[in-house]
Amino acid sequence: MKTSEKKYYGKIMLFGEYSVIVGSKALVVPFTRFSAGWDNSIGNDVSETIQQSRRDLKSWLHHVSTNPETSEILDTELLRKDLENGLFFDSNIPQGYGAGSSGALVAAAYERYSTEINTDNLPLVQRRLALLESYFHGNSSGIDPLACLLGKPILIDENKQIHFVDLKLRQTGVSIFLVDSKTTSKTGPLVEYFHQEMHTYSFFKKVDQIYIAAVNQAIEGIVKNETDQLHSAIKQISAFQLNHLKPMIPVHLEDKWRSGLETDDFTMKLCGSGGGGYMLVFAKNPSKMSQYFEEELVIKLT
């Protein structure tokens, strides 16, 4: 029996991974290929998937209810009772792929169990969602669960203001794909690595002067359908990540990443925190790009 008909879709952060932590813009879009929602299963004939979902939820719930920063955000007692009565979170969003699996869970829990929902104050909602999602990543901007909650493309500007954007991705002159690295990763250690690197002045300076500027230019280019600006900025992002964020790039994709930059047949960048899961690929000529990824699962976004 369904307890809620609402679906929470996955998300893709097109631009802003890591840089948004230190002041860049960010752009996130819904990923409707995957979704999640609440469901109920009563009785002894319960699959291992459902049992694992409940175990994961109970572990997260324990963290939320015992953490002073989060214990008042949700009605944890009601959620606990619902879990005992058969509730589980039914999701086909792949975990460790940068597709919003934890964001969808947090969004769904917030909408159903929040002690005070005020979607008119989106910055406040984002801060609360960030606290709830921190269990999964160690540190969260709250952008991913906010995107899953709203189900719309959102742009975070340099002042942390939230804007809804009407993207016309098919008019950018650049096709966007996801390539499956066939590996998973944990966000927390990679975010910690980035924070540690930011304590090095040379890295901080490059992020501040090169990476953030390229991310902002890419977002402006895709919003305004400025193909040349978008293409140039994506190449800068790709080169920066290859040279300075190497732990985030799966080793078996490094050569293809480099080939894209050298041939200009396509350009790769991280999708979320990286390390595994999906990688984003941008191509002006999809047929040329596809020749490089004959062994990988490729999903077309636009």
Q: Is the pLDDT of residue 45 over 70?
A: no
Could you tell me the two tokens for 162?
A: 């939230």
pLDDT digits (tens, 9 = 90+) for 129-153: 999 999 987 778 899 999 999 999 9
Q: What letters, b where the CB count within 10 A reaches 16 and e where it falls short, cover 267-297?
A: bbbbbbbbbbbbbbbbbbebeebbebbeebe
Sign, Cα dihedral of 8, 26, 21, 128:
negative
The helix/strand/coil state of 24 is coil
Domains and CATH numbers, the chain: 8-164 (3.30.230.10), 169-300 (3.30.70.890)
Structure confidence at residue 53 (pLDDT): 87
215 pLDDT band, cuts 50/70/90, is very high
How would you list the strands of the sheet with 175-180, edge to edge?
Answer: 267-270, 278-283, 175-180, 298-300
1 pLDDT band, cuts 50/70/90, is very low
Q: Give 95's DSSP letter.
A: T
Higher pLDDT, residue 110 or 51: 110
Q: Is the pLDDT of residue 3 over 50?
A: no
Mean pLDDT of the chain: 92
**Cα 37 from Cα 9, distance rounded (Å):** 9
In terms of Cβ atoms closer than 10 Å to its own Cβ (0-12, 13-18, 19+), residue 196 is exposed
In 10 A of CB 208, how many CB atoms?
Answer: 15
**Helix segments in the chain, DSSP class H:** 48-66, 76-84, 101-113, 122-137, 143-150, 187-197, 201-206, 212-223, 227-244, 254-263, 286-290
In 10 A of CB 153, how many CB atoms?
Answer: 20
Higher pLDDT, residue 253 or 47: 253
Structure confidence at residue 111 (pLDDT): 95
Structure confidence at residue 2 (pLDDT): 43
